[in-house]
Structure 1
Amino acid sequence: MSIVSDAVKVLRRDGLIVYPTETVYGLGADALSDYAVQRVYEVKGRPMGKPISVAVSDEEMIGAIAEVSDEAWKFIRTFLPGPVTVVLPVKSCLPPVLSGGTGMIGIRMPDNQVTRDIIAELDAPITATSANTSGTPAPVSKEQVNVAYDLFVDGGDLSGTPSTVVDLEARRILRPGDDIERIAAYLRDLE
């Protein structure tokens, strides 16, 4: 068995995985499962109503869960996969708790092939929140993960710089992070 198929088995039974991105370790659950998403909130101690982003494997999956303008597609094709979370209008296929009632969803396409392979084989987005209890530092190694999980996907030590969060509708940066200078310059050029 490979780590990819092991992870998919866990996710299909509403389990939780810890997976590597290019920045920090994420806590993954099947984002289409209300029960699995609820477990993520519980193990993190995250307040209900606070949005959680999702990770996808490809552009097709982005289009399946969000409304994407031509301008947004240009941005996505420039920066993803990579350390960026794009915020877009959400479609009704995702559990409403993920968007926190905002009508928007944060989407990551991590620059980590194993993680994207897991999502592709699951054929559904997974939650993309750091594998830590709310209010503690995001983990960059297995030793720093402080939440319950069913399977750890080892990606070694990670950089620790969080993804840059960009609201593509408002054309603004909500959280600066990795690759911030290039993203800011791109958004300025749109004005």
Structure 2
Amino acid sequence: MLKDEVNKALKVIQDGGIILYPTDTIWGIGCDATNTEAIKKIYALKQREESKSMIILLDTDNKLQSYVQDVPEIAYNLIEYAENPLTLVMPGAKNISPALISSDGSVGMRVAKHDFCQQLIQRLRKPLVSTSANISGQPSPANFSEVSDEIIQGVDYVVDLEQHDTSVKKPSTIMRLNPDGGFEFLRR
């Protein structure tokens, strides 16, 4: 079942499509983080300004340096010891679509600890865009049952996993990390 869903989602993403999928936090809308056209589809669906950047998911922390110029050493400890899913915003983004890079050159990244996400990212061999499955300005869905029809109909594929899970999920904690190791919380 998991393998089938990974295969279906992978094909849609490789064809430039966008998917609705479960993560280790809330349901997300995603695509290939190097495909600007697909990223623009997500901005259009969410009715979101392109100046508001989205995060990318990685399957392992040893890929951080592939997408950020200088990864502060503390990043690895923060990821390893974080009790809740943690998104790190770091400067010096590289090797992803310019549509995902903030005006200050930073990108938010999270190492997903979720089987589906990890397998999909491994197979894709690229980071996966992740943004909450809602129209901009509306509340983030706590589970699949709260995702609007507009979003469900607006994506190219809805992953058929965890749709009946009604446990309430929360977005990740977000920290901005500077090259010198200094940090600030953007969302706890």
Taking structure 1 as the reference length, the TM-score comes to 0.84
What is aligned with 1:188?
none
Query: How far, CA to CA, are the matches of 1:60 and 1:5 in structure 2?
Result: 24
What is aligned with 2:183?
171
1:43-58 map, 5 Å: 43-58=45-60
What is aligned with 2:171?
162
Q: Is the 8 A contact 1:22 1:158 kept in 2?
A: no
- The percentage of aligned residue pairs carrying the same residue is 29
What is aligned with 1:152?
158
Counterpart amino acid of residue 89 in structure 1:
P
Q: Is the 8 A contact 2:79 2:111 kept in 1?
A: no
Deviation at 1:124, TM superposition (A): 0.6
What is aligned with 1:79?
82
Counterpart amino acid of residue 80 in structure 2:
R
Q: What 5-or-longer segments of structure 1 have no aligned partner?
A: 177-191
Counterpart amino acid of residue 18 in structure 2:
L
Q: Is the 8 A contact 2:142 2:170 kept in 1?
A: no
1:33-182 map, 5 Å: 33-66=35-68, 67-79=70-82, 82-146=84-148, 147=151, 148-153=154-159, 154-155=161-162, 156-169=165-178, 170-176=182-188
Choose 141-150 or 22-31, whichever is displaced more.
Answer: 141-150
Cα distance per residue 1:49-86 (max 9 Å; x no partner): 11111111112322211131212222222228x51111
Taking structure 2 as the reference length, the TM-score comes to 0.86
Q: What 5-or-longer segments of structure 2 have no aligned partner?
A: none
Q: Could you list the structure 1 runs, at least 4 aligned residues long, displaced by more than 6 angstroms after superposition.
A: none
**RMSD (CA atoms):** 1.7
Q: Is the 8 A contact 1:138 1:160 kept in 2?
A: no
